[in-house]
Structure 1
């Protein structure tokens, strides 16, 4: 069994039981292997959760990259980043719960702190690369920071809610925030709205295809 498959089993166990009740025994049972096999690949629970954190972010990153391939303009690249963060299979209440559990450990784990810094830097880099080319955005850096914080906040809220949060509603929140933050004209608002709609349609097709779902689950 590969490390990727064990990481996926650990992630699914974390989603189901939460970080406190996720044990090596449960992960091994989910993967269909012995606890010794899990320890052989990862050494301890902290190393395994580090791999889970990396894997969860990889699925989100790959989703955004897939949408980038279909983006034709800077505005659509911006839309790809936004929609990619709120599309299935990534944006689900159980996954948001697991993300909160992993993030709660970041202040106490230097390796996870480093991973989180990389995640944050990638998010802002993707946003900045698009915003710097979107017409009529007066302060791309401030807008990128605003969007990144809002994305994190919406994920946090979704993880704490007792009911499912709809991804399209989150995208709409960010759309309104960008329009207000950047003071976009009616023409630019319409352009962004159309880009978000197109990326949402593409995400429904591409990110829920068998090929992408198999890749996300660690299968080849």
Structure 2
């Protein structure tokens, strides 16, 4: 039996090791044994905490979603206006703790497996709906009502696009310059949509 109070620490170690292993080897080549070796923890202990490899990956995805949600909540606490809230949501998507190559690689690997894992699909759907809802709430105060859905889709697509580009080692988009690009895009998009007549 694990020592009392050790489980949260162990889980964080295992999740971090899983992210690094997937980044280095790819999700198909990663195994419980390799993840355990990187974490300095026996494979049997990983199975004790997480069950199967798929269950571990589901919890990794859940962890990543929670970290982005945490960054979003922290940013929103310091925002007052709709534009400040929108930029706070944007900043959370590129939080340095999450927006890094190893995490990006893991996101993409897990996304690719969503269709075959109902629990992972559920967690990802919840997160994406919450993100879209938060963006829409801000946009409703900034642009005509019939432009809100278009604006939400534009911003979601831009987020995903910058994550994809920043994960590529040869890309000009990096984890350093991605957020300034997105921030400027947010400002320009809101200005453009706010000038449109409602419904056009």
Q: Please confirm whether the aligned pair reaches a TM-score higher than 0.5, indicating the same fold.
A: yes
- For residue 80 of structure 2, what is the aligned residue in structure 1? 72
RMSD: 2.5
Number of aligned residues? 186
Distance 2:67 2:170 in 1: 24
Maintained 8 Å contact 1:50/1:111: yes
Residue 39 of structure 1 corresponds to: 47
Structure 1 unaligned runs (5+)? 187-220
| Match in the other structure for 1:2 | 7
Runs of 5+ consecutive residues of structure 2 not aligned to the other structure: 1-5, 196-200
Alignment counterpart, residue 12 of structure 1, candidates 14, 20, 27: 20
- Relative to structure 1, the CA distance from residue 181 to residue 59 in structure 2 (aligned partners, 3 Å threshold; closer, same or farther) is same
The residue that corresponds to 1:104 in the other structure is 112
**Does residue 85 in structure 1 map to residue 93 in structure 2?**
yes
Task: Show the counterpart of 2:134.
Answer: 126
1:165 aligned residue (174, 181, 185): 174
Counterparts of 1:101 and 1:135, CA distance in 2: 35
Name the CA distance, whole Å, in 2 between partners of 1:132 and 1:43.
44
Q: What is the TM-score normalised by the length of structure 1? A: 0.74
Q: Tell me the distance in 2 between the aligned counterparts of 1:40 and 1:27.
A: 14
1:29 aligns with 2:31: no
1:179 aligns with 2:188: yes
Q: TM-score, normalised by structure 2?
A: 0.81
* Separation in structure 2 between the aligned mates of residue 51 and residue 14 of structure 1, nearest angstrom: 14
1:109–1:55 CA distance, 2 compared to 1 (3 A): same
CA shift at 1:178, angstroms? 5.5
Deviation at 1:52, TM superposition (A): 0.6
